[in-house]
Amino acid sequence: MAAPEPPGADLVAALVGFGQALRREGLAVGSGQIVTYAQALADLDVSDAEDLYWGGRACLVSDRADVAAYDRAFQRWLGGGPGGQLKVSGAVPRRQPTLTLEPPAATTPGPPGRPERPRGSLASHAEVLRHRHFAECSPDELEALRLLMARLHLQPPLRRSRRLAPSTRGRHLDLRRSLRASLRTHGELLRPARRTRRLRPRRVVLVLDVSGSMRGCSRALLQFAHTAVSRRPSRSGVAPAPATEVFCFGTRLTRITPELARRRPDQALARAAEAVVDWEGGTRIGDSLGELVRVWGRRGLVRGAVVVICSDGLERGDPAVLATEAARLARLAHRIVWVNPLKADPRYQPLARGMAAALPFVDVFLSGHDLSSLESLADLLPTLR
């Protein structure tokens, strides 16, 4: 495709430079989009910075999350140009999440008096690794665990989708196929074809606690999350599963699905670690769940999903908030599974105020301190009808 009026070579070079600047900011801008932009500029006033800005935004950005990066690249691109320091009237400042981040220094690193980890209470020698508490694993053991985890197949429960698929049985008559078949028998309708509603797996939403008190388990759980995101086993006769979503929280919620959606686990984990801003800070489970419902739930990400919360339930915020938000989440989600590493201790009782507040809204309460407990989670998932 050629622009109606081919733009000058200078302009093309400048646009290509801009494209490269955008890519440096992490935007996946294809040459096709640059061509579109060039065509767009033929219709716009190139000397008008606003036209340049908005035209580029329409052509080169395809997600709201990329706007900030676009703004930075645009500033730099035009900053030294004729426009000088450009101020675009309508440019949207990047919206800060409603939850304010507390400086890590302000929160105590871990709740005082947290229960002793259940050392040695689960001694199984046959499969030491499988039953080894995450917190006691060496880096090598964690690596070995990762390989074992990669074999875990998360099979979310199925739901009936609204999409109809041909089937030998089913309530819906497939007139199109029936008629085609009847042509073979001279218009005589011998056997009506049918359609039935197809099955589709529910979405799994993993919510990982990465606060200080979960320090020992965070890495292993993150590995588990990576497996869940990158491996989606397909089942015959069933629609492909929607992508597993992963969120991390300490004092605030971070979505790390895009970071984890990389094949190489070390890369994925490193990127996820960068994205999370409050590693090993305090814990505000209620506020984080609230943000999950407000920002992501309303959009439909949580609706009808199986939400797996991995947290020790040691809430630093108000337990009443946690109860309200858990109730809200329970109304939106299909099932809530709470995976609590502390539950590994047979003496553990969910008496911590946060855990006690959330428990009425939790459908399944599991331990999540070692591989075998995650395996039981994987076994449990398909049964959550």
Chain contacts with another protein (rule: CB under 8 A): 28, 30, 32-33, 36, 39-40, 43-45, 50-51, 54-55, 57-59, 61-64, 67, 89-90, 92, 98, 161-164, 175-176, 178-179, 182, 186-187, 189, 197, 239-240, 242-243, 293-294, 298-301, 303, 324, 328
Place of tokens 């190489």: 264
27 closest CA partner among 49, 51, 1, 57: 57
Q: Least CB distance from residue 17 to another protein, whole Å?
A: 21
Query: Closer CB to another protein, residue 170 or residue 216?
Result: 170
Decide: 127 and 138 in contact? Cβ < 8 Å.
no
Decide: 146 and 231 in contact? Cβ < 8 Å.
no
Residue ranges in the chain assigned as alpha helix (H): 9-24, 31-43, 49-60, 67-79, 139-149, 175-184, 215-230, 257-260, 265-275, 285-291, 319-332, 353-358, 371-380
Query: Closer CB to another protein, residue 43 or residue 266?
Result: 43
Q: Least CB distance from residue 364 to another protein, whole Å?
A: 25
Cα(298)–Cα(314) distance, integer angstroms? 26
Q: What six digits make up the tokens of 18?
A: 């801009």
Query: Closer CB to another protein, residue 293 or residue 344?
Result: 293
Q: Least CB distance from residue 371 to another protein, whole Å?
A: 31
Q: Least CB distance from residue 28 to another protein, whole Å?
A: 8
Query: Closer CB to another protein, residue 215 or residue 271?
Result: 271
Decide: 205 and 245 in contact? Cβ < 8 Å.
yes
Decide: 316 and 250 in contact? Cβ < 8 Å.
no
Cα(355)–Cα(319) distance, integer angstroms? 8
Query: Closer CB to another protein, residue 99 or residue 122?
Result: 99
Q: Least CB distance from residue 104 to another protein, whole Å?
A: 23
Query: Closer CB to another protein, residue 142 or residue 261?
Result: 261
Compute and round to an integer the Cα radius of gyration of the chain. Answer: 26
Q: Least CB distance from residue 222 to another protein, whole Å?
A: 21
Q: Least CB distance from residue 178 to another protein, whole Å?
A: 7
Query: Closer CB to another protein, residue 39 or residue 367?
Result: 39
Going from the C-alpha of 348 to that of each of 130, 323, 336, 352, the distances in angstroms are 21, 20, 20, 10
